[in-house]
Structure 1
Amino acid sequence: MEFDAVLMEPRRKAMEEAGFWPGKTLLDYFEDCLARQPEAQALTSITVAEGGRRDLTWAEIDALSWRAAAGLHRLGLVKDDVLACQLSNSWEFVVLYIACRKLGIVFNPVMPIFREHELRFMLKHGEARAFVVPKLFRGFDHETMAEGMRPDLPDLQHIIVAGGSGANSFDALLLDPALEASADLHALSATARGDANDVCQLIYTSGTTGEPKGVMHTANTMYSNLVAYAGRLGLGAGDIVLMASPMAHQTGFMYGFLLPVMLGARMVLMDSWDKDLAARVIAEDRVTFTMASTPFLMDLSNAVAEGGTDSRSLRIFLCAGTAIPGPLVERAQAVLGAKVLSAWGMTENGAVTVVAPSDPDSRSVQTDGFVLPGMELQIRGTDGAPVPPGHEGELYVRGCSNFVGYLKRPQWNNTDAEGWFDTGDIARMDEAGYIRICGRSKDVIIRGAENIPVVEVEALLYKHPAVHQVAIVAYPDDRLGERACAFIVPKPGQTIDFAEMAAFLGAQRLAKQYFPERLELRDRLPATASGKIQKFALRNELKAEYEARRT
């Protein structure tokens, strides 16, 4: 695979000279931990449904990752090949990524919720040579799905099944005790592991283009963010990091995995969310930090209040993805004893703005933080010129943690000659430099921090024989921030109901989390003179209905 990382070279010299690109990879940080504290507990992996728990030291992770690297090498995977991984948060995920980095294999995490519709595109576009899936997760047979897609994926050579029992199982292919790393493999790794400017992660994000975009990151782009992030929050080796947000998202991947390795801190991973179990884990493992979306904070506060568990070890709960209601901040801090902080970021650049722990609580309610070192913000008006503080405009960012391009789609990089990336978000900045995200110029709905690819879902609904016109817009929700509503104009003499819509999308193999949660049938939709649907009018209608219910 050739990676067209065109956004890296124009800023490499400036970032290195300014010291924002640390020049260290995951393996550099991991090997530091291994040298300092090989027998210290590094990882706790919890499987919620089975109640399982596995603890690993740094030395044990190293041994397993070398064994997995030997297995990947035996399968013929080499530097710059792409390995796609659909595993939930787990020790296998951690071991697999470290093994990939030992061989210079590019890691492509994909969400466990994805089904054939999303995966066929992602694996084909990314030319994945291997695909690692769970046998079963939440009752779904991922192995059968993966095998069924083989005819459509000419580059895919290996399907590896965690929890499987056959010759293609994770244990057989990557954990066989006979797979001890040879001297030759160590020598190969010394070269293949590359440096901090190699593309090491390919992660897909939904947008307005009608197809997912493959975001390319290097160790420098990700760790430049993590160094500044940890500095802002005062995180260090003594912290214990809980992560229940999926590691196939940057939230889970960067702040639940890469961050603790960088710090030499212990990570506690939950493969799915259970508020009561999370409360017990915080109490028993003395968790100090976690990051998740607002619904997780609401759930955890309720669990601690109802169960009376001890959450005093938790110093910081960082929320990103949607605004945090003021009453929730007050209640969470009173119940949990933790500081609740807000942040804003994207897959393309990680967390860009973060509230500081020393800031008053109002900052987390009224803003999304201020910019991290190494990054710059600019809010522009419709004429392209920066707007004064307090005025809304289009948000642009540039700096150390910006991605290095969209795979095979450089025309969509949205980055100008001066390095400014158009985020597609509307924001305003106050006199002190704190920003507030006010909306999105992108046609994307954020449901509980999960981006819903509106154009893609609309395109599927247009295939339904009863649908003449469709527009999907957000409506406010107290728990998830936003949910999706489909406005549909049926064809003459036909109709469609909610159950039929859901069944149709299910038949298209769309992830259920992308289904609209409400359906409104209309004779016509508001439109401009040229026929363009005025989605803002539909959003305003739903917002007014929501506000009327609250009064």
Structure 2
Amino acid sequence: MNKEHESAGAGRETVTPFPEAPLLARPLPDIVWDRASADPEGLAVVELGERGDTTMTWRELVDRAERIAHVLLALGVRPGETVMVQLPNSAAFVAASLAALRIGAVCCPVLPALGQRELEYALQRSDARVLFVPEEFRKRRYAQEVRFMAEARRTGRLAHVLVVAEDSALAYDGDESGTGVVFHDLVRSTAAARPAEHPPVLGPDTVAHLLFTSGTTGEPKGVPHRMGTLNRAALLMSRRLGLTRRDRWHIASPMAHHSGFLYGMWVALLLGGVQVLQPVWDADRALEAFTRWRSTFMQGATPFLLDMVDAVDAGVPPPQSLSTFVITGASVPRALSARARSSLGIRVCAGWGSTETCFATLSAPGDDEELVTATDGRSLDGVRLRVVGEAGRPLGPGDEGDLQVTGPCLFEGYLGRPDLTEEAFTADGWYRTGDLAVIEPTGYLRITGRVKDVINRGGEKIPVGDIEQLLMTHPAVRDAAVVAMPDRRLGERACLFAVLSPGGLLDLTAMQIFLEGEKVAKHYWPERVEIMDALPRNPAGKVQKFILRQLAKGATGRRTGEDDGI
């Protein structure tokens, strides 16, 4: 392959040596247990709660994880077995995850937002026998829901449910409902448990994590990652951003996604930093927590940053400690980045990655602002990128095509789906991301859309990402997404779904005038405008365009009436 068509970044065989190399090969539990010995009274976890914040030292965290590990062993969990965790961002989540890892089990976090249908799928695909749930969270009674599922025999091999209940008097042990699933009160179980002894020997090749994709482009797929892969991914990110154990992580992104689990909890545990966990997102509560707990780093989707900027602009004190925010799930809206610098006094960095690849690209805090807002960063050490055309041939810098990735943090295949694995990889071992992208002459990556998001208007492909970015600079637009709507003559046309700023007004004519002023070709203009209160997003903050495409089929907005241009 012609090397000039790849982005900067070495291949697997020439990965830059790590000053942190000892951390790469060590299992995360060993690192955390050593931290507890060296700094037992040091602050490890803060959980923001409705009734006040709770804290946990390193000694307390390890003690709780040891006790949960003993419970798991007593339930017959063995190395390599999947343990599913459906808990909100909490100290219980951290302890349960560490407990599973401590005994060599595979930690499989799933979103609290999953409904019974999605949970059933995950349980069956993962073969999990043990599930952690809260008794109640956001007015949902999880244990009761799982009991109903068990009675209907829709829980796969599930045998034990460990319930995290605020009221430890709830007696779940020895459930005799005849469902075949025993419900345990985790608080009461761990209170009487002895610490686990003789943990299994773990290594960098131990499968530690199973994450399911969001399923926005098909059925959710199980993506396993090894201990060493997660360590390297966390260290690559922390090196690019300059993070150390002196930093504090504010984790509001769901811990059932890489943003919360890997780039929040895992990296904080690996480096020995404090993690501040927010179970339910609220910008005012987050800003209050920054003042009290002095977190320096946060990663999340655009709505998190936008909400904080709006709150500060409305009079809430800005976060004095926060220095870096990494936007994931979408490119950085230029106008938002400028507002965040002005209102919050922080540096905004952009990155691109996926469940399968971990972070592949990331900008650095010292990068030129134009690069941060116009691209998705540059490749991390050891990661290689290429953009290919329709015939699969690599394209040159500046050309748009299908993005493919290889490198040291790539997954090895989908759980139980060799057919999907084969489809995902090229013959020479590169992962097909499904994204459209451009690698700039500078080596920085620019994601321009999803392959399935392409709008083909009578043979002319519309640059969806660029149009969305441009529309986000309109003063009346708070959020925007452009999707295809079917058209009998041209095949597809573009439909804009917009969320307006307070007091903002936008209709089709106003949008046309704006795009004309920006010198945008008319055949790139969206031909419907639909106003929404909020764009549909998954818990990680990604816009669910499949929902918008369905809405666009019955959209009521008025077409432009312009000449088709064909």
TM over 0.5: yes
Output the CA distance in 2 between the equivalents of 1:329 and 1:301.
Answer: 10
User: What SS does the aligned partner of 1:186 have?
Assistant: coil
Work out whether 1:303 is the aligned partner of 2:308: no
2:505 alignment counterpart: none
Alignment CA distance shift 1:363-1:478 (3 Å): farther
| TM-score, length of structure 1 as denominator length | 0.77
Amino acid paired to 1:300: M
Output the CA distance in 1 between the equivalents of 2:216 and 2:190.
Answer: 44
Work out whether 1:431 is the aligned partner of 2:426: no
The alpha carbon displacement at 1:430 in A equals: 0.7
The 8 Å contact of residues 12 and 407 in structure 2, kept in 1 or not, is answered as no
User: What SS does the aligned partner of 1:403 have?
Assistant: coil
The 8 Å contact of residues 160 and 184 in structure 2, kept in 1 or not, is answered as no
Instruction: Please give the per-residue CA displacement for 1:109-168, whole angstroms capped at 9, x wherever unaligned.
Output: 111111122111110111010111111111111112111222123411011211162224
The 8 Å contact of residues 88 and 271 in structure 1, kept in 2 or not, is answered as yes
Instruction: Please give the per-residue CA displacement for 1:200-251, whole angstroms capped at 9, x wherever unaligned.
Output: 1111103477421000111111111111110110000110110101001111
1:39 alignment counterpart: 41
Amino acid paired to 2:27: T
Output the CA distance in 2 between the equivalents of 1:474 and 1:372.
Answer: 35
Output the CA distance in 2 between the equivalents of 1:474 and 1:293.
Answer: 23
Amino acid paired to 1:186: E
1:321 alignment counterpart: 329
Stretch of structure 1 that moved more, 395-404 or 155-164: 155-164
The alpha carbon displacement at 1:513 in A equals: 8.2
Amino acid paired to 2:376: D
> Which of 22, 36, 41 matches 2:24?
22
> Which of 154, 167, 178 matches 2:172?
167
Output the CA distance in 2 between the equivalents of 1:17 and 1:330.
Answer: 34
The 8 Å contact of residues 414 and 420 in structure 2, kept in 1 or not, is answered as yes
Work out whether 1:358 is the aligned partner of 2:366: yes
> Which of 202, 207, 218 matches 2:210?
202
2:255 alignment counterpart: 247
Structure 1 unaligned spans of 5+: 1-11, 448-453, 455-470, 481-511, 524-537, 546-551
Amino acid paired to 1:153: T
Alignment CA distance shift 1:373-1:65 (3 Å): same
Stretch of structure 1 that moved more, 513-522 or 27-36: 513-522
Size of the alignment, in residue pairs? 458
Instruction: Please give the per-residue CA displacement for 1:317-337, whole angstroms capped at 9, x wherever unaligned.
Output: 110111222121111111111
Q: Percent identity?
A: 34
Output the CA distance in 1 between the equivalents of 2:162 and 2:544.
Answer: 25
1:98 alignment counterpart: 98
Stretch of structure 1 that moved more, 295-304 or 12-21: 12-21
The 8 Å contact of residues 71 and 173 in structure 1, kept in 2 or not, is answered as no
1:382 alignment counterpart: 390
The 8 Å contact of residues 321 and 344 in structure 1, kept in 2 or not, is answered as yes
The alpha carbon displacement at 1:37 in A equals: 1.5
User: What SS does the aligned partner of 1:402 have?
Assistant: coil
Output the CA distance in 1 between the equivalents of 2:142 and 2:91.
Answer: 19
The 8 Å contact of residues 476 and 543 in structure 1, kept in 2 or not, is answered as no
User: What SS does the aligned partner of 1:307 have?
Assistant: coil
2:116 alignment counterpart: 116
Output the CA distance in 2 between the equivalents of 1:42 and 1:314.
Answer: 18
2:59 alignment counterpart: 59
Work out whether 1:412 is the aligned partner of 2:420: yes
The alpha carbon displacement at 1:305 in A equals: 2.8
User: What SS does the aligned partner of 1:64 have?
Assistant: helix
Alignment CA distance shift 1:217-1:140 (3 Å): same
User: What SS does the aligned partner of 1:59 have?
Assistant: helix
User: What SS does the aligned partner of 2:264 have?
Assistant: helix
User: What SS does the aligned partner of 1:22 have?
Assistant: helix
> Which of 336, 345, 354 matches 1:346?
354
The alpha carbon displacement at 1:516 in A equals: 3.5
Output the CA distance in 2 between the equivalents of 1:377 and 1:242.
Answer: 30
The alpha carbon displacement at 1:352 in A equals: 1.1
Instruction: Please give the per-residue CA displacement for 1:185-207, whole angstroms capped at 9, x wherever unaligned.
Output: 422x143xx21211111111034
